[in-house]
Amino acid sequence: MTFQILMVIGITVVAVYLFATEKLRMDMVAVLVLATLALLDLVSPQQALSGFSNPATITVAAMFVLAAGLQNSGALSGIGWLFSRTRSPFLFLLLLFAVLALIAPFVNNTAVVAVFMPLVITATARIGMPASKALIPLSFVSQMAGVCTLVGTSTNLLVNGIAKDLGHPGFSMFEFTPLGLICLAAGCTYLLIFGRWLLPDTRTSEFVEHYELGKFLTELRVMPGSRLIGKSIEEMKLGEANGVFVLELLRGKNKVWSPRTQTLQEDDILLARGDWPRLVEFTRKAGLEINSQFKFKARLLDDVEQVVTEVMIAPNSRAAGRTLEALDRSWNHNAVVLAIQRRGGVLREKLKDVRLDVGDILLLITASAEVGALRRDPDVVVLSEREAVKPKGWRGPFALVTMALVIGISAIGWMPIAITSLVGAVAMTLAGCLHADEVYEAVDWRIVVLMAGLLPLGVAMSQSGAAAFIVEHTIGLVRDLGPHVVLAVMYLVALLLAELMSNSAAAVLLTPIGISTAQMLGVDATPFLIAVTFSASTSFLTPVGYQTNTMVYTAGGYRFTDFLKVGLPLNLIFWILGVIFIPRFWPF
């Protein structure tokens, strides 16, 4: 082992640890990796910065803009109408899968799930179907469909970009399609047949009424004349009667011991948790007032039509890790925060001290005209029932035609996808499908920086010999069993690694390893790269393995084990299909 190999492996191990533990943001880890490689002279300055000009990075950024243009122009507005026509759970799921199969191969699946979640919740409530029976399928099928084309996920583009940098010819637009369609058909069939038994019936997560998503934490102030003054919560028994649990009693700046037994005073603050309608009823009966202290830019809410809106902190949101107090200085929405919900945990801090996490849900009062701006905000996903975006005249069809041309021209080889997607993004902006200032908001810069920062790591692993060293001492142990067994092992390794860390990071680490594995066996590298792409892009085992899983985790009221129960058989199906069909479509 050379000193260069030792350094590259050391950097890789530290990066995997940071990705898995989430001690630092993913994009920050990627920049640290890039800087370390450059400082240690493991890559040249040109190679260190090549990720920012790589066609894969440019394509991903442009595809974010194209997806935003489709959404903002109302091009997808007919989907909600289609869903409203169904009258049975089976037909609804069948229609949902068909629509996802048409859209998700060409639009970033995180954006697809963000658009579809409220539509699915509304439609399931209308037909009396638990939303929990449809949200995991929404996430899983969007992932399955995403691997059908080169642009379906950023992981596909990332593997293609690294492979080209390492001398592989790369992949065409629809090269993944045959295997992708087989996996999609098998996955949809599995969910349709077994989903009714494996998926939970979590009716508390439905929007049967307006706002009954789950247990919210809010602050209630004891007002003059309240029935609770001079008495305790336990004595009045209002909490039990209304299904509300008082977690803390705040008097001034201090928390008071045993909040349920304390004699209450005027201006005491109760941290209470419960279903929102019951919290409201408890507030009315006890003579309390919701202590809405976070009024983001709320200048004229009293003079306009108001709506109650639920928004979820999106994956890679700038709000994640920040308190409401810190967010107040940078959020540009005209809204008042009423309560917070966190899946899998009980909050006991004042709202201003709660550090927001991905999947947290904020209950807001906002102006009805503000809902459109919230829907366009990449930091949040609006969950509440609402009208779909109305088509902006000719811009909806224009956006669809533009997207079709971007894919079609690239597919027939007239122009590279990086150029067509960039031109398409410019065309949508000039046509008014989205405003110029919305272009920057549409791009998930964390993903872009993550890709640009990690691409040089693939180069360093290859040219230093680290990838060959890792292969020789791991996968090389089973090389005598033949390329089919090696392929099966590599697929499993990629699958497990993608569950532990970012799927993009797993793809970066395993792409040079896949090429070195092929060189060790003396066969074509394509089958191993396909295995890395499919396994890293389809993560079903945990709610944190993929961004779309994280998004539906809270909204569906799921438990961690629900993903394992539904996802493990699905991952095994994909693994078996991959081992059987990859060598047939891409011979060794």
Query: Mean pLDDT, to the nearest integer, of 392-416?
Result: 85
- Does a structural domain hold residue 390? no
Does residue 321 have a pLDDT over 70? yes
356 in a domain, yes or no?
yes
Would you call 519 helix, strand, or coil by DSSP? helix
The verdict on 568 and 456 lying in the same domain is: yes
pLDDT band per the 50, 70, 90 thresholds, residue 310: confident
Q: What is the DSSP letter of 355?
A: B
Domain shared by 300 and 262, yes or no: no
- For 555-564, what is the mean pLDDT? 82
Each residue of 447-483: pLDDT tens digit? Answer: 888 888 888 888 888 888 888 888 777 777 787 888 8
Which CATH number covers residue 313? 3.30.70.1450
Between residues 287 and 426, which one has the greater pLDDT? Answer: 426
User: Is residue 316 pLDDT above 80, yes or no?
Assistant: no
Residue 289 sits at φ, ψ, to 5 deg, of -140, 140
- The per-residue pLDDT for 213 is 43
Number of domains observed in the structure of the chain: 3
**Same-domain check for residues 255 and 362:** no
Domain boundary among 290, 323, 356: 290
Domain membership flag for residue 246: yes
As given in the structure block, the two tokens for residue 345 are 């945990």
Last residue of a domain, one of 238, 261, 290: 290
Could you give the percent of the chain with pLDDT greater than 90? Answer: 19
According to the model, what pLDDT value does residue 384 have? 63
Q: 463 with 535, same domain?
A: yes
CA atoms within 13 A on the CB side of 342: 15
Indicate whether 300 and 375 sit together in one domain. Answer: yes
Q: Is residue 133 part of a domain?
A: no
For residue 339, name the pLDDT band (cuts at 50, 70, 90).
confident
Residue 361 has pLDDT above 50, yes or no: yes
- Residue 398's alpha-carbon distances to 103, 341, 394, 430, in angstroms, are 16, 39, 6, 11
Same domain, 259 and 330: no
Confidence of residue 386 (pLDDT cuts 50, 70, 90): very low
Domain boundary among the residues 382, 402, 424 is at 382
355 with 456, same domain? Answer: no
Q: CA quadruple 554, 560, 563, 565: dihedral positive or negative?
A: negative
Quick one: pLDDT at residue 294? Answer: 54
Q: What is the pLDDT of residues 422-446, one digit of tens each?
A: 999 999 999 888 888 778 877 878 8
Reply yes or no on whether the pLDDT at 212 is more than 50. no
Q: Please state the rounded mean pLDDT for residues 229-255.
A: 75
pLDDT for the residue 504: 79
Q: Is the pLDDT of residue 299 over 50?
A: no
The pLDDT, as a whole number, for residue 420 is 92
What is the 8-class DSSP label of residue 392?
-
State the DSSP string of 71-94: HHTTTTTHHHHHHHH--SHHHHHH
Range in 105-119, 165-179, 311-325, 484-498 the model is least confident about = 311-325
Burial 480-497 (b: 16+ CB within 10 A, else e): eeebeebbbbbbbbbbeb
Residue 166 has pLDDT above 50, yes or no: yes
Give the pLDDT score at 304: 58
**pLDDT given for residue 353 in this prediction:** 74
Q: What end-to-end distance do the CA atoms of the chain give, in Å?
A: 29
State the pLDDT at residue 561: 86
Tens digit of pLDDT for each residue in 493-529?
A: 888 877 777 777 788 888 888 888 888 888 999 999 9
Rounded Cα distance, 550 and 312, in Å:
11
574, 187 contact by CB (below 8 A): yes
pLDDT at 266: 84
Residues 114-139 have a mean pLDDT of 84
Dihedrals phi, psi of 52, to nearest 5 degrees: -75, -20
Confidence grade of residue 36 (pLDDT, cut at 50, 70, 90): very high
Q: Both 309 and 241 in a single domain?
A: no
Looking at residue 207, what is its pLDDT?
A: 34
Task: Judge if 534 and 575 occupy the same domain.
Answer: yes
- For residue 132, being part of any structural domain is answered with no
Residue 549 falls inside a structural domain: yes
Please tell me the predicted confidence (pLDDT) of residue 214.
Answer: 54
Contact criterion met (CB below 8 Å) for 588 and 528: no
Residue 111's pLDDT band (boundaries 50, 70, 90)?
confident
CA atoms of 43 and 34, how far apart (whole Å) = 9
Q: Which residue has the higher pLDDT, 474 or 567?
A: 567
| For the ranges 108-122, 268-282, 526-540, 541-555, the one whose mean pLDDT is highest | 526-540
455 and 519 share one domain = yes
- 75-105 confidence digits (pLDDT tens): 776 777 788 778 888 999 999 999 999 988 9
Which pLDDT does position 87 carry in this prediction?
81
Asked whether residue 272 falls in the same domain as residue 301, the answer is: no
pLDDT(205) > 70: no
Higher pLDDT, 393 or 221: 221
Residue 288 pLDDT > 90, yes or no?
no
578 with 469, same domain: the answer is: yes
| Residue 16, SS3 per DSSP | helix
pLDDT at 254 over 90: no
CA distance 11 to 110: 29
What would the DSSP string read from start to end of 248-294? Answer: EEEETTEEESSTTTSPB-TT-EEEEEEEHHHHHHHHHHHTEEE---E
Give the percent of the chain with pLDDT over 70: 87
Range of the domain at 256: 215-290
* Predicted pLDDT of residue 306: 66
Q: What confidence tier does 202 reach under pLDDT thresholds 50, 70, 90?
A: low
Identify whether 525 is part of a domain.
yes
The mean of the pLDDT values for the chain is 81
In a domain, residue 403? The reply is no
Given a cut of 50, is residue 210 above it in pLDDT? no
185: pLDDT confidence band, cut at 50, 70 and 90?
Answer: very high
24: confidence class by pLDDT, cuts 50, 70, 90: confident
Once rounded to an integer, what is the mean pLDDT over residues 233-251? Answer: 73
Whole-number Cα distances in Å, 154 to 60, 62, 151, 451:
6, 11, 7, 9
Model confidence at 248: pLDDT above 60:
yes
pLDDT at 305: 63
Q: What is the pLDDT of residue 330?
A: 63
